[in-house]
Amino acid sequence: MRHLPVMGREVLKWINPQEGHLYVDCTLGGGGHTKIILKETKGKVRILGIDWDEEALEIARRELKDYQEQVIFIRDNFKNLSRILKQQGIKKVDGILYDLGMSSLQVDNPQRGFSFRYPAPLDMRMDKRRELTAAKIVNEASESELEEIFRKFGEEKWAKRIAKFVVRERKISPIATTQDLVEVIRRAIPSQVRYKRRVHFATKTFQALRIKVNEELENLNEALEDSLNLLSSSGRICVISYHSLEDRLVKRKFKEAHGKQIRILTKKVIKPSREEIKINPRARSAKLRVAERI
Ligand SMILES: C[S@@+](CC[C@H](N)C(=O)[O-])C[C@H]1O[C@@H](n2cnc3c(N)ncnc32)[C@H](O)[C@@H]1O
């Protein structure tokens, strides 16, 4: 499945790309946002595109083949942004974009284990070079660690019971696949609660594991810190987040730096239009925050 860039029009408006300027797309994915910026500026900007997922980079390279001269592709964790720029001999950039989380290319790839909808090994690594997988956590973490992960990263009210059931089940046989885990969660959450939930009963546990496997909050925290330092004066940072843990982190970081390093431009968070959500339901939880370097 193709990945549709979320809030493409809004990102373009807020990044406000100018000819000759240099931008960083820290979450290149399928290259959707980068392509929008390149099209709008008729390729008269340079973009450094970072992603740690080699499949994403491969697709982005194909999608952006008409702009080979303008894009530098880098496979790395965006938390290394300072080092990446240094290696490229770049001191400051004119805009930085984060479109966090996963792309449809990742979620809809049944083999990667992100989705409870497809049977697959419990993997969930965006960067396959990393060692920690969801299966390792589920089968090796202690009951209290599991409870904390499900509560902290999934805001799952039934964290304690799910952790208990996971530990009980894995003594009988390892929880190796997405379906194994869905089954354990199904048994842990009482049916009257399951049926009342607006989202699938496994959503929160799967989100929690994905965040833990990919250290999403730690990466974002470090990356935001560096990003503000690397922006040139009047350079903008745009961050699209997809769950409240991420959004709270962005909001807090921006607030701390407001008036010192940056000026917050989006006093009210920006959300996708109803029309966009209709076309692309994955956009429904997206929130965009923008700040400008002073
Ligand atoms: C929502 S997608 C981006 C989609 C892209 N904006 C587009 O329109 O095609 C997020 C991407 O960020 C990447 N990503 C997430 N965390 C990362 C990190 N810490 N370092 C590098 N890439 C990361 C994922 O691998 C994924 O490809």
Average pLDDT score over residue span 138-167: 98
Structure tokens at 107: 């979620």
Q: Is the CB of 8 under 6 A from ligand 1?
A: no
Could you identify the atom of ligand 1 that is nearest to the CA of residue 5?
8
Centre of ligand 1 from the C-alpha of residue 29, in Å:
5
Which amino acid does the sequence have at 67?
Y
Helical pair 216-230 and 203-214, crossing angle rounded to 10 deg? 60
Q: Which two structure tokens, joined as six digits, stand for 286?
A: 């997206």
- Residue 131: which residues within 8 A CB-CB, separation 6 or more? none
* In the chain, beta strands by DSSP E: 22-25, 46-51, 71-75, 93-99, 231-241, 262-264, 287-293
* CA 129 – CA 142 distance, rounded (Å): 25
All domains of the chain in start order, with CATH: 8-105+216-293 (3.40.50.150), 110-214 (1.10.150.170)
The lowest-confidence range among 99-113, 135-149, 171-185, 212-226 is: 99-113
How much distance in Å is there from the Cα of 40 to the middle of ligand 1?
21
Question: Mean pLDDT over residues 9-37, rounded?
Answer: 97
The arithmetic mean of pLDDT across residues 277-285, rounded, is 94
**The Cα angle at residue 226 between residues 222 and 229, in degrees rounded to 5:** 155
What's the chain's average pLDDT?
96
Is 29 close to ligand 1, i.e. is its CB under 6 Å away?
yes
The pair of structure tokens assigned to 64 is: 């952006």
Nearest atom of ligand 1 to the alpha carbon of 56: 27
The predicted model gives 276-291 an average pLDDT of 95
Among 1, 15, 51, say which to mutate for ligand 1: greatest number of ligand atoms within 8 Å of CB: 51
Q: Which atom of ligand 1 is nearest to the CA of 29?
A: 27
In this model, does residue 217 exceed pLDDT 80? yes
32 lines ligand 1 (CB under 6 A): yes
b vs e for 159-193, b when ≥16 Cβ sit within 10 Å of the residue's Cβ? bbbbbebbbebbeeeebebbebbbebbeebbeeee
Dihedral sign of CA atoms 116, 121, 122, 126 in order: negative
Ligand 1 contact, 101 CB (< 6 A): yes
Distant-in-sequence, close-in-space partners of 233: CB < 8 Å, separation ≥ 6: 293, 294
The ligand 1 atom nearest the CA atom of 220: 19
Q: How far is the CA of 15 from the centre of ligand 1 (A)?
A: 18
Q: N- to C-terminal Cα distance for the chain?
A: 40
Look at 110-114, 203-207, 265-269, 290-294 and tell me which has the smallest mean pLDDT: 110-114
Nearest Cα residue to atom 22 of ligand 1? 51
Position 110 confidence tier, pLDDT thresholds 50, 70, 90 = confident
Mutate to test the pocket of ligand 1, among 97, 98, 106, 126 (most ligand atoms within 8 A of CB): 126
Instruction: Show the tokens assigned to 103.
Output: 């792309």
Q: Is the CB of 47 under 6 A from ligand 1?
A: no
pLDDT band at 290 (very low <50, low <70, confident <90, very high): very high
